[in-house]
């Protein structure tokens, strides 16, 4: 079926969303799902062929996979919302599933459009054929794995950049015959959304960015310092909380001793896999525990468990809970990230510009991560081809379009200061910071309803955000029954 028929059936006759008769996208009924979460949603999937190299329109073509999630109301009349996933390396058709409930109020009046970014999901994925994301490699191992991955990929990886993805987004919008749409980008998707706003401001009705990466920031150098700041905040908050301090005395010292012990002798743990319940064995290294702690800081609900898990291992010699968290983390990363696309973006847009930062020599030691992630990224990028980016790519984005910026106070990777930085050049923007929260906050509290109001036309400064004042950090778990009453 052509796009005309399907769009009219999605919106209903009163939708008032113009569709060009010449549009030629075909749609098929499909379900988007994440089996490990037991969630799925009905959608209409489509494909669109685009040049791999937009500078050579007659050259090699790649197929992009997208989906149209219809609005939940038969009387919906709002412009679609385009969701941009993070990573870089996540597929939007997968990343949407955990956001289904958060975007529920928006879906009452707006369909959701998803496009797997080139190099992710089913859009000519650059997933490394070894199919193994190693969260604890040394630099040499990581470089060799990247080189093998590159040899096996059938793609010109130089073309898998943010700028080319922006061209893809425009091609999809034109194929859908949408004069304009709303855009929501999370984490790396905020970089993509801001660059889209820079290049095509006339087609963006509103922009919402959640976990903000300003255009003039470089991803990579601050990974270790930001992660250490998050752990320091956790330790200080536990020390200042009488119940946590009493339950887990000398937590900082125990953590330091635990990491030193694992560096000398990794711990082998027998347990049942927390998802499959099959008997398995995990060798917990220092690097594995460091990654568990690092990614726990993304979500305060998970971070609230860390003092308990670290205490169980260091003081009670019970390593099972930490090992279970490692299994959950590694499974999640393996399922959700296209490593080749990740490298293509970082090696084109970030690593080449690291030396331009004037404050790198003041960053200090990498802290509990134990190694500087930048050394590993620089090694990988020494073998991974570098794509071209526009001269103004890392300049601040200026616009008078309505923009809503969202941050978590405790975000360990895109801190609130980055949201302020991006907002400074946006004349019709508002930056909201949620107290005690981490990375990706649109699903929390009343934010889904504020987003609905924003898309409905409420100006950023007119949004009633009093409901956000009730936000607080998640209380620490004192035992496995949960936080204290």
The per-residue pLDDT for 274 is: 87
Cα–Cα distances in angstroms (integers) from residue 479 to residues 229, 234, 305, 311, in the given order: 25, 17, 9, 10
398-425, pLDDT tens digit by residue? 999 999 999 999 899 999 999 999 999 9
Cα–Cα distances in angstroms (integers) from residue 137 to residues 224, 296, 379, in the given order: 16, 19, 12
Q: Is the pLDDT of residue 80 over 50?
A: yes
pTM: 0.90
The rounded mean pLDDT for the chain is 88
Is there a contact between 221 and 363 (Cβ–Cβ < 8 Å)?
A: yes
Rounded CA gap, 260 and 438, in Å?
Answer: 28
- To which H or E segment does residue 197 belong? helix 188-199
| Side-chain-side CA neighbours of residue 423 (13 Å) | 24
Instruction: Taking residues 243-264, report their average pLDDT.
Output: 93
Percent of the chain scored above 90 by pLDDT?
A: 66
Rounded CA gap, 450 and 443, in Å?
Answer: 11
Q: What are the boundaries of each domain within the chain?
A: 3-219+390-470, 248-335
12-56, pLDDT tens digit by residue? 223 333 334 444 788 899 999 876 666 789 999 999 999 999 999
270-301, pLDDT tens digit by residue? 999 988 889 999 899 888 898 899 888 888 88
| Closest to 117 in 3D by CA, of 314, 324, 345 | 345
Q: Which two tokens stand for residue 435?
A: 């107290």
Lowest mean pLDDT among 7-11, 196-200, 344-348, 395-399: 7-11
SS (H, E, C) 148-195: HHHHHCCCCHHHCCHHHHHHHHHHHHHHHCCCCEEEEEECHHHHHHHH
Q: Which two tokens stand for residue 353?
A: 């510009």
Please report the DSSP string for 403-457 in residue order: EEEEEETT-SSS-HHHHHHHHTTBTTEEEEEETT--S--TTSTTHHHHHHHHHTT
Fold category of 3-219+390-470 in CATH: Rossmann fold (3.40.50)
Please provide residue 371's backbone torsions phi and psi, each rounded to the nearest 5 degrees. Answer: -150, 155
333-368, pLDDT tens digit by residue? 666 789 999 999 999 999 999 877 655 555 556 688
Rounded CA gap, 101 and 224, in Å?
Answer: 32
What are the residues whose beta carbons fall under 8 Å from the beta carbon of 118, sequence distance 6 or more?
50, 52, 62, 64, 124, 159, 160, 164, 165, 168, 341
- To which H or E segment does residue 66 belong? strand 61-69
The per-residue pLDDT for 165 is: 98
| Side-chain-side CA neighbours of residue 6 (13 Å) | 22
Pairing mode of beta strands 112-115, 81-84: parallel
Q: Is 116 helix (H, G, I), strand (E, B) or coil?
A: coil
The interaxial angle of helices 139-152 and 339-349, nearest 10 deg, is 110
Please provide residue 196's backbone torsions phi and psi, each rounded to the nearest 5 degrees. Answer: -60, -40
- To which H or E segment does residue 208 belong? strand 204-210
Kindly indicate the confidence band of residue 140, based on its pLDDT and cuts at 50, 70 and 90.
Answer: confident
Q: Is the pLDDT of residue 83 over 60?
A: yes
Rounded CA gap, 113 and 241, in Å?
Answer: 44
Q: Is the pLDDT of residue 160 over 80?
A: yes
Rounded CA gap, 283 and 271, in Å?
Answer: 11
The per-residue pLDDT for 132 is: 52
Rounded CA gap, 176 and 19, in Å?
Answer: 7
Please give the residue that has the higher pLDDT: either 21 or 238.
238
Percent of the chain scored above 70 by pLDDT?
A: 89
């Amino acid at each position: 079926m052509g796009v005309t028929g399907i769009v009219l059936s999605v919106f209903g006759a009163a939708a008032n969303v113009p569709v060009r008769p010449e549009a030629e996208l075909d749609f098929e009924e499909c379900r988007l799902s994440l089996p490990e979460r037991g969630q799925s949603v009905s959608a209409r999937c489509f494909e669109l062929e685009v040049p791999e190299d937009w500078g050579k329109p007659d050259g090699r073509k790649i197929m992009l996979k997208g989906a149209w999630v219809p609005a939940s109301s038969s009387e919906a009349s709002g412009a679609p919302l385009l969701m941009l996933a993070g990573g870089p390396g996540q597929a939007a058709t997968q990343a949407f599933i955990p956001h289904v409930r958060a975007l529920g109020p928006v879906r009452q009046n707006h369909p959701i459009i998803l496009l797997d970014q080139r190099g992710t999901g089913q859009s000519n994925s650059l997933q490394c054929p070894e199919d193994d994301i190693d969260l604890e490699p040394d630099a040499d191992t990581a470089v060799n794995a990247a080189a093998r991955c590159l040899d096996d990929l059938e793609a010109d990886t130089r073309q898998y950049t943010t700028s080319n993805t922006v061209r893809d987004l425009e091609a999809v919008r034109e194929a859908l015959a949408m004069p304009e749409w709303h855009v929501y980008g999370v984490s790396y998707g905020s970089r993509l959304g801001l660059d889209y706003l820079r290049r095509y401001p006339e087609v963006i009705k509103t922009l919402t960015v959640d976990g903000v990466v300003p255009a003039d920031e470089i991803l990579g150098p601050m990974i270790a310092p930001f992660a250490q700041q998050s752990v320091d905040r956790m330790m200080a908050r536990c020390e200042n909380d009488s119940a946590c301090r009493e339950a887990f005395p000398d937590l900082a010292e125990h953590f330091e001793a635990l990491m030193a012990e694992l560096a000398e002798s990794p711990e082998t743990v027998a347990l049942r896999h927390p998802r499959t319940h099959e008997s398995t064995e995990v060798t917990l290294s220092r690097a594995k525990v460091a990654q568990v702690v690092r990614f726990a800081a993304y979500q305060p609900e998970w971070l609230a468990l860390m003092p308990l898990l670290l205490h169980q291992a260091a003081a009670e010699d019970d390593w099972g809970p930490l090992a279970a968290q490692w299994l959950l983390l590694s499974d999640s990363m393996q399922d959700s990230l296209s490593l080749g696309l990740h490298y293509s973006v970082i090696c084109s847009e970030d690593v080449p510009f690291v030396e331009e930062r004037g404050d790198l020599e003041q960053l200090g030691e990498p802290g509990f991560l134990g190694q500087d992630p930048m050394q590993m990224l620089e090694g990988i990028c020494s073998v991974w081809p570098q794509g071209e980016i526009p001269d103004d790519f890392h300049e601040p984005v200026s616009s008078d379009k309505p923009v809503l910026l969202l941050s978590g106070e405790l975000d360990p990777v895109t801190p609130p200061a980055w949201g302020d930085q991006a907002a400074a050049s946006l004349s019709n923007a508002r930056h909201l910071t949620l107290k005690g929260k981490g990375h990706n906050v649109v699903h929390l509290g009343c934010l889904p309803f504020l987003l609905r109001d924003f898309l409905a036309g409420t100006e950023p400064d007119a949004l009633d955000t009093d409901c956000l004042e009730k936000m607080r950090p998640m209380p620490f778990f004192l035992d496995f029954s949960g936080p204290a009453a």
